[in-house]
Amino acid sequence: MPSQKRVELAGSHREMVAGASSPRPVDNHEMVQATVVLRRRARAQMPAAEEFAFRQSNVASYHTRDEFAVLHGADPVDIASIEAFAHDNGLTVSERSAARRSVMLKGTAENMQKAFGTALAHYDTPAGGYRGRTGSVTIPANLEGVITAVLGLDNRPVATPHLRRADAAKASSGLAPTQVAQAYSFPVGATGAGQTIGIIELGGGYSSSDLNTYFGAHAPTVTSVSVDGGANQPGVDPNSDGEVMLDIEVSGSVAPGARIVVYFAPNTDQGFHDAITMAVHDTVNKPSVISISWGGPEDSWTPQASTAMLEACTDGAGVGVTITAAAGDNGGSDGVSDGKLHVDLPACLPPVLACGGTKLTLSGTTIKTEVVWNELAANEGATGGGVSDIQPIPTYQAHAGVPVQKATKFAGRGVPDVAGDADPVTGYKVRVDGQNTVIGGTSAVAPLWAGLIALINQEMGKAVGFVQPALYQMIGTQSFHEITKGNNNGYQAGPNWNPCTGLGSPNGAAILKALQGTTAQRASAT
């Protein structure tokens, strides 16, 4: 066929990982899979996430999954154009989804490189090897605007689990998740029955025997879904196993009546994105809340991948799914050693309920003290939080007092929205790989809030979905325990909202009551 004019795919430029070895060419016969993300059908008609915000009336602000696929999924004509592109380049289509706006292509490295105008190579780093690329992806000019992202050619890890294990000598100070829920006044009598909690995992696995030992007779139903070849693999990576078990055991303890579905995917931009879209558009399991405890600094993502993640989470708002995400465990730097302040992705995405961390001490069943979690001096982590340098401030934060980004003065999205106990010293008693231990980190706060949302959904009789606008109307009320003391080595705590703990830790019963009493007029004003 005659050669076609090619154009760079906007936002696809890549640099190799700092400190990586010189590249080694890939074997031309190596099999590669990539997810091609497509534009929305009638893109101009896609509302902003806040159009799907929770409202108290019985008229849902969001769509069913089937409705959303028809209204805002990919156009079949666009899918057909990618299938033709694949055929012309010796690639095969292994999956296609109009709802997820994605087509997965498989083929040899040689054909993938030709199809996307890039060179693949293998790199070694102190953290492990990866197959990567540098420069930009190119596509035929006729597909410009049709393709919004190509993910998976570069399979470097994009995220880390945001958990911190307690020192063995301090493990006795841990709390059962139910103790934390009681201190935060989670709705009494609710179990999450009728709800499904989706959990995104990029490694590790769970053991049914550990879950049975931990939960006893009250073990929730836990199933797994494979995404892009990811699988439940306990015993391979103890740290990732800790993340998986923490997520299941915290959410399952506070919402024992909910089903839990774990979506396992590779730790790549492709795997992360595809796991979220799989969970959001899952018409079989239908999660009403999704918990994410993995992430990476927002500026470590390519713009195309960051946008794809944003749109995947916006889809969540569109179908009434609440997405909770850990804000990070390395303070205001988010673990970047450039001396600047950073926030974590996906927590920084406006449709996501970003979860920060506190140090909680109890007196019996009530809160004795609660301050910002910051144990960086003891090498035990600190809550992430700050101001995005990429995502603009959302409407729901317009009157929350979010400062501009300190270095760039950008009026960005403030992180986190809410908080909860995260200090490993006052962390959560869990069971991992046959051992009882105590784990903290904002990784515990995301499933804690996911469990709370499941309880609220049960009591409301419907999914609250994109709930942030309603939560920000509760500033200064008894719905939150404001955290006014402490810092995260970047920002200082303070009243109302702050860039360490957001609105504060929850008073679950008061939040439920406020949502039940929120008027349609107040919700529509967000």
Active site residues: 243, 247, 443
Cβ(397)–Cβ(472) below 8 Å: yes
Please give the C-alpha separations between residue 209 and each of 115, 231, 253, 439, in angstroms, as whole numbers: 46, 17, 16, 19
In this structure, the number of other CB atoms found within 10 A of the CB of residue 22 comes to 8
- Compute the Cα dihedral for 163, 166, 171, 173 and give only its sign: negative
Give the C-alpha separation, 416 to 179, whole Å: 23
b/e per residue, 426-463, with b = 16+ CB within 10 A?
bbbbbbbbeeebbbbbbbbbbbbbbbbbbbbbbbeeeb
**Which is nearest to 142 in space by CA: 15, 33, 3?**
3
User: What are the residues whose beta carbons fall under 8 Å from the beta carbon of 337, sequence distance 6 or more?
Assistant: none
Residue 294 belongs to what H/E stretch?
strand 294-297
Question: Are 458 and 512 within 8 A, CB to CB?
Answer: no
Q: Is the N-terminal amide bond of 177 cis, ω within 30° of 0?
A: no
Scanning the structure block, which residue is given the tokens 């300190």?
A: 406
- The CA distance from 421 to 392, in Å, is 28
- How many Å apart are CA 333 and CA 343, to the nearest integer? 7
Structural tokens at position 479: 């719905």
Task: Name the E strands within 364-458.
Answer: 366-372, 386-392, 412-415, 418-421, 428-432, 435-440
CB atoms within 10 A of CB 405: 21
Residue with tokens 């929730």: 220
Q: Is 417 helix (H, G, I), strand (E, B) or coil?
A: coil
242: tokens are 């800790």
Nearest CA to 491 out of 374, 348, 352 is that of 374
Q: Are strands 353-363 and 418-421 parallel, antiparallel or unpaired?
A: parallel
* Nearest partner of 293 among 123, 442, 114, judged by Cα: 442
